[in-house]
Structure 1
């Protein structure tokens, strides 16, 4: 086989069309690693808070320092993760009104804490953000954004979050940030291998990635009940000429044109 033929075959392999099922499984695989880091953080936080409560006291911010070794490990083990930690629900801790035990990586790879003065009179109310309110209100993990993360990095980001509960009580969220540029480097090549325009949206209909020029990243897709789709059949649903398919195991939905009648 000539070198030109080998190159042509390699190019054909790169451009091979993928099915919707293939893409949603690959997207799910990519984000499942990040949710694994979030899950580890949630479990560590539950153990720390439960220990304080067994001692018959309310936890304090210093207790959460026990999370730091695990957070540092997650930042080095999971390539997509740029920041990770626990965000306490207001009133949980005895010494401060709110708290973010949050660590992130600098451009040089160094790990450092996010330092915020949440005890100031201009207290930052983070409870209205999707990354906090969605896990709190649904009891499920969530993908929030993309949005400009003025609180942590000033980067266009996604935040993956899960509720942390102790003895049935909501205590806050474990969460991890992904810079959008890193996320798109993973998912855009997959979307581009679908036969038509496609986009990924979260439970609110916010576009997380798109090859459809009519639906830009960060815009809202209106109409369908995306939260219901996430809780529905694995093969998704059709709405207004669109096929809405939950990504495998993660709270994102792949939106494509509905197949012609008679085709799967």
Structure 2
């Protein structure tokens, strides 16, 4: 690629990153609404001088059902309580998802640690990243054995009340739906590209050498997200998706490596 065409290609990359951001912000809107509803509910319960219980979380259901109906990419949505938050159970997911026929149904899980492999969900990225960083996160893609047995992404954000972490608000996106939304954008680029999360997990790829779901080796993608600016690292151009925790990674050409490139 010549120097004359490099600025055009960089502009196209940044346009693609912005389009990816727009697609996922609609999902994060659902997460933010769930977080706001949950925080308000927990604050009301605390004002009554008692600990919340699973019955209190039923008040979230109308909003969760509405988000499933309105957000095209969202396949599941809900609140996942921090262990010990609720007075009547050690752990809980107030989680609803779309059925094959378009119906809305609850996720019913056995969270008894005596005989459930899913009793401790705190090690999953969608829970651990928001808890540990205080920021919203994109986890996956991974096979979601917990909810759907589908290859999925989970977008999540911490819920805090009075400075205390109480759990996460989250939404699932089936990977096939995400790829349908973003792959046409990646194919617009002059070079193979991929979208990776903060840990380098590939969420979508037009690069045959980087398979979806694999870990992308190289620079610190979390650091690129923190700067919010496009940069060059190890022969790659990293373009943060402007507020959404994904990075567009494109193999850099000679013109991109010029000192004036950003």
RMSD after superposition: 1.4
For structure 2, the residue ranges without an aligned partner over 5 or more in a row are 1-7
Flag as ranges the 4+ runs of structure 1 deviating above 3 A.
none
Contact 1:92 1:171 in 2 (8 A): yes
Contact 1:143 1:158 in 2 (8 A): yes
Contact 1:29 1:248 in 2 (8 A): no
- 1:245 corresponds to 2:256: no
> How many Å separate the matches in 2 of 1:120 and 1:67?
26
> How many Å separate the matches in 2 of 1:110 and 1:90?
29
Summarize deviations over 1:161-193 as a string: whole Å, max 9, x none: 000000000000000000000000000000000
How far is 1:223 from its partner? 2.6
- Tell me the residue number matched to 1:112: 105
Specify whether residues 252 and 215 from structure 1 end up closer, same or farther in structure 2 by C-alpha distance, changes over 3 A only.
same
For structure 1, the residue ranges without an aligned partner over 5 or more in a row are 1-15
TM-score in terms of structure 1 length: 0.91
- Tell me the residue number matched to 1:155: 150
What does residue range 251-262 of structure 1 map to in structure 2 within 5 Å? 251-258=245-252, 259-261=256-258, 262=260
Question: Which of 209, 215, 226 in structure 2 is aligned with 1:214?
Answer: 209
Q: How many pairs were matched up?
A: 248
Question: Which of 90, 93, 96 in structure 2 is aligned with 1:103?
Answer: 96
> How many Å separate the matches in 2 of 1:95 and 1:112?
22
Summarize deviations over 1:200-239 as a string: whole Å, max 9, x none: 000110000000111100000123111111110x332211
Contact 2:31 2:171 in 1 (8 A): yes
Specify whether residues 263 and 166 from structure 1 end up closer, same or farther in structure 2 by C-alpha distance, changes over 3 A only.
closer
Contact 2:113 2:120 in 1 (8 A): no
> How many Å separate the matches in 2 of 1:263 and 1:238?
9
